[in-house]
């Protein structure tokens, strides 16, 4: 009897073991390898490193990312055959390049699937920013925008006033210098907005830059003379009838009646909260100050010299900063808050 039970137990164990082994083997065998080779726009292998490459399944949550080696190759192991992949190169670590992608990649079990993904050398724009005295301006902001004003990239000049944008796609751009929303450096406070080709701060007169990124038979563009001398702009002094310690002045630029969000200054008030100075390019602005009232901070707008402030944006009086000599002066006197 015991012998019979033992034989039955052994038979069950063997049967169970035989049932489990094929399942594990089948699961392991359902994986493959994906080898990605970066290629140029002509389809030739390109030895470019530090390009982030990802494989992302469109049929599951499978995702992997790695960086290309000196041969321009990335290898992914143990990739499930059930995953339908999108293979993408996105040069977040090597900003000279523009990435590409290839979709509907499938993996064969126990085999290496080779995928070629195109990358391109992007165009570039560089230059030197100088002060009105001809001195290189360090820590100045330079922003690359599309011709519709959309943000592309931002750089800060080095000690020699030099900046460079790279990895740019084919398109048209404008260069904005010393652009800022939060004015918190001496350089930004001393020099107003300017544009390449329009140093007086005229967006509509700014030169358009045409860039071409690398193609199969096209070399990428390289603008190396994006130089500019920044004017100091008009010094606008705002004085408040009521002190607002810890507060700030906000100046929003309007072009043809439309708010241009790339020219929006937020400037801390001086100690005591009574006044502030900021340099602005010629143009039209709506100027306001957020006051602390009843636990909230409503924006109160300038309505004219010495006139009571208003919360009604439509009742604000535009401030016109005229074109003038380098370092011209303009004063604004904010009136008191309206009576509650």
Based on the domain organization, do 260 and 205 belong to the same domain? no
Tell me, what's the pLDDT at 295?
62
**Mean pLDDT in residue range 206-231:** 94
6 assigned to some structural domain? no
Q: Which of 124, 270, 131 lies closest to 190, judged by CA?
A: 131
How far apart, in whole angstroms, are the C-alpha atoms of residue 254 and residue 284? 6
What is the pLDDT of the chain when averaged over all its residues?
87
User: Is the predicted pLDDT of residue 67 greater than 60, yes or no?
Assistant: yes
Based on the domain organization, do 131 and 109 belong to the same domain? no
**Mean pLDDT in residue range 233-262:** 90
Tell me, what's the pLDDT at 22?
42
Q: Which of 96, 112, 116 lies closest to 40, judged by CA?
A: 116
Question: Looking at the 3D structure of the chain, how many domains does it have?
Answer: 3
Based on the domain organization, do 212 and 245 belong to the same domain? no
Cα 250 from chain centroid? 23
User: Is the predicted pLDDT of residue 26 greater than 50, yes or no?
Assistant: no
In the block, residue with structure tokens 């399942």: 23
pLDDT tens, position by position, 183-203:
667 776 788 889 999 998 899
Of 229, 260, 292, the position where a domain reaches its end is: 229
Tell me, what's the pLDDT at 231?
85
Q: Are 188 and 140 in contact (CB under 8 A)?
A: yes
3 assigned to some structural domain? no
Of 121, 141, 157, the position where a domain reaches its end is: 121
116 assigned to some structural domain? yes
pLDDT tens, position by position, 109-128:
999 999 999 999 999 999 99
171 assigned to some structural domain? yes
Of 121, 136, 154, the position where a domain reaches its end is: 121
Based on the domain organization, do 259 and 184 belong to the same domain? no
Paired residues of 66 in beta bridges = 53
Q: How far is CA 14 from CA 3, 49, 130, 269, in A?
A: 16, 52, 83, 83
How far apart, in whole angstroms, are the C-alpha atoms of residue 264 and residue 248? 13
302 assigned to some structural domain? yes
User: Is the predicted pLDDT of residue 5 greater than 50, yes or no?
Assistant: no
Domain residues for 198?
A: 123-229
CATH number at residue 127: 2.60.40.1120
147 assigned to some structural domain? yes
10-19, 40-49, 135-144, 191-200, range with the lowest pLDDT: 10-19
Based on the domain organization, do 104 and 146 belong to the same domain? no
Strand pairing report for 151-156 and 141-146: antiparallel
User: Is the predicted pLDDT of residue 25 greater than 60, yes or no?
Assistant: no
Based on the domain organization, do 247 and 305 belong to the same domain? yes
Of residues 199 and 338, more confidently modeled: 199
Q: Which long-range contacts (CB under 8 A, 24 or more apart) does 2-11 make?
A: none
User: Is the predicted pLDDT of residue 44 greater than 80, yes or no?
Assistant: yes
Based on the domain organization, do 136 and 151 belong to the same domain? yes
Based on the domain organization, do 238 and 220 belong to the same domain? no
User: Is the predicted pLDDT of residue 17 greater than 60, yes or no?
Assistant: no
How far apart, in whole angstroms, are the C-alpha atoms of residue 8 and residue 58? 48
pLDDT band at 326; cut points 50, 70, 90: confident
Which residues touch 85 (CB under 8 Å, ≥6 apart)? Answer: 34, 55, 56, 57, 58, 79, 103, 104, 105, 106, 107
Tell me which range, 94-98, 151-155, 246-250, 323-327, is most confidently predicted by mean pLDDT: 151-155
290 assigned to some structural domain? yes
Based on the domain organization, do 69 and 152 belong to the same domain? no
Based on the domain organization, do 133 and 191 belong to the same domain? yes
Based on the domain organization, do 208 and 246 belong to the same domain? no
């Amino acid at each position: 009897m015991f012998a019979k039970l033992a034989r039955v137990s052994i038979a069950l164990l063997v049967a169970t073991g035989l049932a489990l082994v094929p399942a594990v083997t089948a699961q392991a065998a359902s994986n493959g390898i994906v080898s990605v080779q970066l290629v140029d726009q002509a389809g030739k292998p390109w030895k470019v490193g530090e390009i982030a490459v990802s494989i992302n399944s469109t049929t599951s949550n499978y995702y992997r990312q790695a960086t290309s080696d000196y041969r321009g190759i990335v290898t992914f192991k143990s990739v499930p055959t059930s995953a339908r992949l999108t293979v993408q190169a996105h040069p977040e670590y090597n900003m000279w390049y523009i990435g590409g992608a290839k979709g509907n990649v499938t993996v064969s079990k126990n085999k290496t699937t080779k995928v070629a993904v195109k990358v391109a050398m992007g165009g570039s724009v560089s230059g030197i920013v100088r002060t009105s005295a001809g001195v290189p301006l360090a820590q100045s902001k330079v922003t690359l925008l599309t011709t519709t004003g959309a943000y592309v990239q931002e750089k800060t000049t080095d000690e020699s006033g030099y900046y460079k944008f790279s990895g740019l796609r084919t398109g048209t751009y404008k260069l904005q210098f010393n652009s800022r929303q939060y004015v918190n450096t001496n350089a930004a406070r001393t020099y107003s907005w300017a544009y390449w080709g329009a140093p007086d701060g005229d967006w509509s007169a700014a030169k358009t830059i045409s860039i071409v990124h690398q193609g199969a038979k096209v070399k990428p563009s390289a603008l190396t003379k994006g130089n500019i001398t920044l004017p100091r702009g008009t010094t606008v002094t705002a004085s408040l009838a009521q002190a607002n310690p810890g507060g700030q002045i906000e100046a929003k630029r309007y072009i043809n009646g439309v708010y241009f969000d790339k020219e929006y200054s937020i400037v801390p008030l001086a100690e005591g909260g009574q006044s502030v100075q900021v340099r602005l390019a010629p143009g039209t602005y709506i100027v306001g100050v957020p006051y602390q009232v009843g636990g909230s901070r409503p924006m109160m707008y300038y309505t004219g010299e010495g006139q009571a402030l208003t919360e009604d944006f439509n009742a604000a009086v535009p401030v016109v900063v005229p074109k003038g000599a380098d370092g011209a002066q303009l004063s604004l006197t904010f009136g008191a808050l309206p009576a509650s």
